Amino acid sequence: MKYILEPVSKNQIIEFLGCRKKTDILIGTDFLTSGDSYKMSLDELNEILHLQKNIKVSLKINRLFHEKELEQLINYLKQIDFNKIKFVFYSDLCLIDIFSMLNIDDKLVYDAYTYTTNYLDVLEYSRYNKYVVVSNQISTSEIASLTNKTNNVIIYGFGKSVIFYSKRPLLSNYFKYRNLNYDANDRNYNLKEEFREDLYHIYEDEHGSYVYEPKYYYLFDELKDLNNVDYLILNSTSLNAKQYKQVVNAYLNNNFEKLLEINIPLYKGIMETKSVLLKSEVE
């Protein structure tokens, strides 16, 4: 099993490019990528692509595009040297036709986030993708059952999930309504419920607003029991460079104790339980 890393800075990307262990790197850009992750400019991306000695960089395109953006999207993609891109992770199905038109449809990885929850989903999407990413919102037993019946699967092994998304600029609207002179694009805002202690990270960019789960989900010992999984994604949302490097080192060295030493809240989340409960099972 190889690891797909999401570095939190340009310097960390360059550092991980030199990693000799089984790692690839997933990079987003300011136009193609949404959410609280590090995003490069197009020029910076092309610079990184030409720095790599072996092809290790994949491109993250997790935005949903409007009709009026499609021409801009096509022109943007034409400026990327896809000969130096390993995989293209995408969520918007319109990109299948665009990639086919650009003759780069042999690198596609479909990531529907929470929607790919059974092996028939994976089999269908595998017909026109090199890999399919399985939802992290199903239990470990369900992931194991799914991967036993399929090939060409990628899973999330660590990170935070988006639990709410809106195209609206929620922080900007709130600060305007409350007459607060705050930067809506700051990464340090959290929501807190009245009767719970958890903090839910909220982030806004030019593509919308995102609320993340309060803790970091993880798979570790369970990984040895999963079949037909080629890659494991280590997500870096809300982590600084030091914390993320510690996470990566814990996985690369198969040292769970090192993961526990990082000062971040960990939990199994929905991975410990079935995602669908019947009434008869809880009575």
Residue-wise pLDDT for 147-176, tens only, equals: 999 989 999 999 998 888 898 999 999 999
Is 60 exceeded by the pLDDT of residue 279? no
How distant is the alpha carbon of residue 280 from its chain centre?
35
Say whether pLDDT at 278 is over 70.
no
Instruction: Tell me which of 11 and 275 has the higher pLDDT.
Output: 11
Dump pLDDT digits (tens) for 10-56: 999 999 998 877 899 999 999 999 999 999 999 999 999 999 888 89
**CA terminus-to-terminus distance, the chain:** 40
Closest to 94 in 3D by CA, of 72, 114, 116: 72
To 10 degrees, what angle do helices 10-17 and 241-252 make? 20
Nearest to 200 by CA among 168, 229, 235, 237: 237
Q: pTM, whole model, 2 decimals?
A: 0.91
pLDDT tier, 243 (very low <50, low <70, confident <90, very high otherwise): very high
Answer yes or no: are the C-beta atoms of 197 and 231 closer than 8 Å. Answer: no
Q: Give yes or no for residue 250 having a pLDDT over 80.
A: yes
pLDDT on residue 174: 95
| DSSP secondary structure letter of residue 146 | H
Instruction: Note the pLDDT tens digit of each residue in 106-138.
Output: 999 999 888 899 999 999 999 999 999 998 888
Structure tokens at 276: 């669908």
57-112 residue pLDDT tens? 999 999 989 999 999 999 999 999 999 999 999 999 999 999 999 988 899 999 98
Write 168-175 long-range contacts (CB < 8 A, 24+).
168/208, 168/209, 169/204, 169/208, 169/209, 170/202, 170/204, 170/209, 171/202, 171/204, 171/209, 172/204
Q: Do 216 and 158 touch, CB atoms closer than 8 A?
A: yes
**Could you tell me what percent of the chain has a pLDDT over 70?**
95
Residue that the structure tokens 């935070």 belong to: 160
Distances (CA, A) of 198 to 157, 166, 259: 22, 21, 20
The candidate with the shortest Cα–Cα distance to 91, out of 130, 65, 52, 56, is 65
Of 65-69, 101-105, 208-212, 216-220, which range is least confident?
101-105
State the average pLDDT over residues 248-259. 96
